[in-house]
Amino acid sequence: MSLGRWLRNRPRGLEILYRRTHRLFIRFDPLIARLGYERIDRWLRPGEELGKKIVFDCRMCGQCILHSTGMTCPMTCPKNLRNGPCGGVRANGHCEVKPDMKCIWVEAFERSRKMTLYGDEMLHIQIPVNRQLEGSSAWINMLTGVDTQPPPGWVNLPDIPVLHKS
Ligand code: SF4
């Protein structure tokens, strides 16, 4: 078993680490803003990419939602799905595209059940991934808020009209 998988199977520790790191970034946001988000992005990116690659097999989408997906990277799904599995999960819980691989959404759900802080965020609906953010630091995108903005042309979640049956 790889080190990354071993760590991912301990999501409780990872979510605590995430919360502490998140608080740290929020605390230092004024300083980061003063130094310039773009500059700090450049400094941060290599370390973020390396660390998250080892632990989560990160693809640097720039819109990290790991804590809402059982500390399991949704971009490792062959279809890059960010709102749960497709209809093709096999009876043994494996992927329809890669039969040897367990569906990452099965793993995400199992891990989320071990998470007391963010586990229920599995039920949150995620906005479509904005490919323009690919390769940038998700931490900086979190601070600037660009990671919660839908890509241009997409309707924001609260603006989706709800259909009522008469
Ligand atoms: S959600 Fe995006 S930033 Fe987070 S681990 Fe996956 S590819 Fe990397």
Per-residue pLDDT of the chain (166 residues; tens, 9 = 90+): 899 999 999 999 999 999 999 999 999 999 999 999 999 999 999 999 999 999 999 999 999 999 999 999 999 999 999 999 999 999 999 999 999 999 999 999 999 999 999 999 999 999 889 999 999 999 999 999 999 987 777 766 666 665 555 5
- pLDDT of the residue at 158: 67
Using the structure block, give the residue that is written with the tokens 């979640």: 157
Kindly provide the b/e burial profile for residues 148-159, where b requires at least 16 CB atoms within 10 angstroms of the residue's own CB. eeeeeeeeeeee
- pLDDT of the residue at 151: 74
Residue nearest (by alpha carbon) to ligand 1 atom 4 = 64
Q: Which atom of ligand 1 is nearest to the CA of 57?
A: 5
CA of 16 to the centre of ligand 1 (A): 17
CA of 65 to the centre of ligand 1 (A): 7
Whether 15 contacts 108, CB under 8 Å: no
- Best residue for ligand 1 mutational test, from 25, 41, 65 (most atoms within 8 Å of Cβ): 65
pTM listed for this prediction: 0.87
CA of 138 to the centre of ligand 1 (A): 8
Would you call 144 exposed, middle or buried from its count of C-beta atoms within 10 A (0-12, 13-18, 19+)? middle
How far apart, in whole angstroms, are the C-alpha atoms of residue 69 and residue 103?
13
Whether 82 contacts 129, CB under 8 Å: yes
Query: Could you tell me the two tokens for 50?
Result: 């390396």
